[in-house]
Structure 1
């Protein structure tokens, strides 16, 4: 704020200085830029997201409302590092009190604008009339005030499970490695809410900036993100009658192929993109997709009339959708998922990390399908070897290998010296283990030959 005001940049902050989640920023950007005025807005979020509290980051959302693409983030990184290396020489800055009282800083009621618009994307009436018990855990993050406002505005039976906000997040159950993470897809982090699940018909969690979701049901506990995304897609296809029939369903390539099966059965098309929600942004912009989701518990979808809602992940909307599904169908999402697997097959899915040098990671990121000489995978003929997505020709940043009933993707980690293997089998857990073992061998052999 001190730097923005000093440089004459007009900024809108929350009217009550409340924390503001990523989806509310995306929603506000799109709302402002759809008014046809001369000025165009963008946004900044400072957040650790689902990472440890000390790993906070600077997140930039452009005028399209979505996460910045690689060209923009590389420029920002280069510029920021250059300024830091020069001791911030030349950076204009004024005291905070002077900044917020300047003509450059204005107020905006992010909570009221976002919460008041939720009925355009969700059936809040069916949630309210069902009186299902909803438990919402912000995990100490920016969605806290939004959940309180949702309960008040729509008069739904919603309890804010943990009303505490603390920048240390010391009340969060430790993750698998005994680190604090606000990861709402982790069974360790969500254990406190899972233990309280009998008090609610549906319970939800969000990460620090509320762009991710975690769904807890009474019988299943914390749902696997792939399972819930599958349920969400099927339900929305069947209950959003005003969505354009020609619009596609978007998913990352490493998200379960069960979605492909049910979407194609419904007569719609699937758009597969590389890992990263940024790849969905142009599709949401031109309204050629009505849903975009990734296996890391991030997704968003369009309004009930087919217009774009946000171009970034929205964990609040995805959490409320679980309540709508439960209220409208009478089934919890885990029961809904089991019914889908009986119709389309039961997938077995896993993600594993394997140690890799930086050189290995560079090689893997540039690997092509032609690099793989094998013709079979876990006893089946290989039908696909891809380094770019089909249809839209986007770089996978690794390789995808598919058969009739299984697939794997191998790609380097962006933060650690490992490569990640995502794999799925529609046969069995044993077959999945075979797929993963052979995937490691295939990638290992390809790296040795380089």
Structure 2
């Protein structure tokens, strides 16, 4: 089996099950074992997995390889959210964790991600170190093998959330929770319920096919949750993706709440009792910047990918970091996106002031913003060439508005004279180029997205 068949993406390897096979998973596990033995800290390794039908078996294979390499392995009693293992690393002083998950991808996918000893997403030198060591599994003498045992990853994480979040106001709050048949079931809803919320559950049973739609908390996949909240059956709705590291929020007035608006409201809420800069990705709204400016705080912009957010959070001692795709974490927690933690934060925030009211107030104070995105097909092996060639096609104006500056932290972000912007960047998880746009109204955003697609047409 050739290690070259394993292609790393943003923070691990993800593929369809015809490529994501047991022999290749074992090769990945050996790469992790060799890396940890030669460069990582000492200690046990956590092995977690999501709710996919194939995930427990893959986790078992990874455990065998790690134990055969002399590592003790800590396992959950069932599939659990990815952020629980990130916190477990720090809480239990582990060498790292391997999680079998394809996150929000449909059921025909699976994946593996490695989380190093600091509980934050692995940076490129770590993943390069694993990739360089991909090989057929090794086996030490049997008396040098590690052992595997089940431990409780849920309770320590729940205790941490209660320490970070003032959950007193959640008591009596009616929350509709949608697990999308993923690993958040029995974790996020239980946490909210024990904080005193009146929780009604949707899709909180494990289903291998995720009920026919991918566990992606996008508007088109959360129609029942929206109906329940807009119909008055719950004060707020919360959903997690397949491995519960991301969050989506539903409100009575807006239905599905744009993640950019949630991020702005979140930062504003946290600033009521604390202070500090914010970290956001290049694809995230400038409304964050306006909230920061109003409070005398600074903003750090980073490329898309939570590993860059995590790195900047540490460098800036940021109050919060996040991205427009629904991944967030806050100061005092591990530097990994955590949809379980954020469910408690969202409920606490709504209990203090309805999220719709907070968003209305922010938009009134700082101006309306609308953002949207689209994608253009592009094979993975063509992305680098396409983006490089794009440099020669950057226009001086977009739909009649001058380009004032170009940011190249991640692809090309065109800052326009009217305060709007257009971003083109390669996806780290799919064979597409992403086009993002932000402006004061939806019509202008549509124009900018069309211009972005036309721009990509010159190189794809």
Q: Please indicate the TM-score interval, normalised by the length of the shorter structure.
A: 0.7 to 0.9
Secondary structure class of the residue paired with 2:319: strand
Counterparts of 1:358 and 1:136, CA distance in 2: 36
- Work out which of the residue numbers 63, 68, 74 in structure 2 matches 1:6: 68
Task: From the superposition, tell whether residues 220 and 251 of structure 1 become closer, same or farther in structure 2 (CA, over 3 Å).
Answer: same
Counterparts of 2:197 and 2:106, CA distance in 1: 32
Query: Is residue 253 of structure 1 aligned with residue 282 of structure 2?
Result: yes
Counterparts of 1:373 and 1:295, CA distance in 2: 24
Secondary structure class of the residue paired with 2:209: coil
The alignment's TM-score, normalised by the length of structure 2, stands at 0.79
- Work out which of the residue numbers 312, 330, 335 in structure 2 matches 1:283: 312
Preserved contact between residue 18 and residue 145 of structure 1 (Cα < 8 Å): no
Preserved contact between residue 170 and residue 348 of structure 2 (Cα < 8 Å): yes
**Segment of structure 1 superposing worse, 61-70 or 267-276:** 61-70
Alpha-carbon displacement from aligned partner over 1:98-150 (angstroms, at most 9, x marks no partner): 99xx862244321110112212221111212xx11012222222222223542
Counterparts of 1:373 and 1:209, CA distance in 2: 38
Counterparts of 1:312 and 1:280, CA distance in 2: 9
- Work out which of the residue numbers 95, 117, 139 in structure 1 matches 2:180: 139
Structure 1, gaps ≥5 residues long = 34-39, 175-179, 303-307, 389-395
- Name 1:124's counterpart in structure 2: 167
- Name 1:177's counterpart in structure 2: none
- Name 2:118's counterpart in structure 1: 64
Per the TM alignment, residue 162 of structure 1 is displaced from its structure 2 partner at its CA by 3.4
Preserved contact between residue 254 and residue 275 of structure 1 (Cα < 8 Å): yes
Per the TM alignment, residue 93 of structure 1 is displaced from its structure 2 partner at its CA by 9.4
Query: Is residue 402 of structure 1 aligned with residue 402 of structure 2?
Result: no
- Name 2:15's counterpart in structure 1: none
- Work out which of the residue numbers 92, 114, 122 in structure 1 matches 2:139: 92
Preserved contact between residue 247 and residue 339 of structure 2 (Cα < 8 Å): yes
Counterparts of 1:436 and 1:104, CA distance in 2: 53
Preserved contact between residue 277 and residue 313 of structure 1 (Cα < 8 Å): yes
Preserved contact between residue 136 and residue 204 of structure 1 (Cα < 8 Å): yes
**Segment of structure 1 superposing worse, 206-215 or 188-197:** 188-197
Secondary structure class of the residue paired with 1:164: coil
Per the TM alignment, residue 21 of structure 1 is displaced from its structure 2 partner at its CA by 1.2
Task: From the superposition, tell whether residues 47 and 415 of structure 1 become closer, same or farther in structure 2 (CA, over 3 Å).
Answer: closer
Task: From the superposition, tell whether residues 417 and 3 of structure 1 become closer, same or farther in structure 2 (CA, over 3 Å).
Answer: closer
Preserved contact between residue 64 and residue 285 of structure 1 (Cα < 8 Å): no
Number of matched residues? 395
- Work out which of the residue numbers 169, 192, 215 in structure 2 matches 1:182: 215
Counterparts of 1:148 and 1:417, CA distance in 2: 34
Calculate the aligned-residue CA RMSD, in Å: 2.7
Preserved contact between residue 115 and residue 149 of structure 1 (Cα < 8 Å): no
Preserved contact between residue 356 and residue 418 of structure 1 (Cα < 8 Å): yes
Counterparts of 2:234 and 2:141, CA distance in 1: 48
Counterparts of 2:246 and 2:415, CA distance in 1: 28
Preserved contact between residue 368 and residue 387 of structure 1 (Cα < 8 Å): no
- Name 1:437's counterpart in structure 2: 450
Preserved contact between residue 410 and residue 422 of structure 1 (Cα < 8 Å): yes
Equivalent positions of 1:254-403 (< 5 A) are 254-286=283-315, 288-302=317-331, 308-329=332-353, 331=354, 333-356=355-378, 361-366=383-388, 371-372=392-393, 374-388=395-409, 396=410, 398-403=411-416
Structure 2, gaps ≥5 residues long = 1-62
Preserved contact between residue 239 and residue 248 of structure 2 (Cα < 8 Å): yes
Counterparts of 1:151 and 1:165, CA distance in 2: 19
Secondary structure class of the residue paired with 2:356: helix
The alignment's TM-score, normalised by the length of structure 1, stands at 0.80
Preserved contact between residue 111 and residue 146 of structure 1 (Cα < 8 Å): yes
Preserved contact between residue 3 and residue 94 of structure 1 (Cα < 8 Å): no
- Work out which of the residue numbers 246, 266, 269 in structure 2 matches 1:232: 266
Counterparts of 1:429 and 1:103, CA distance in 2: 57
Alpha-carbon displacement from aligned partner over 1:332-353 (angstroms, at most 9, x marks no partner): x233222211111111211122
Preserved contact between residue 176 and residue 202 of structure 2 (Cα < 8 Å): yes
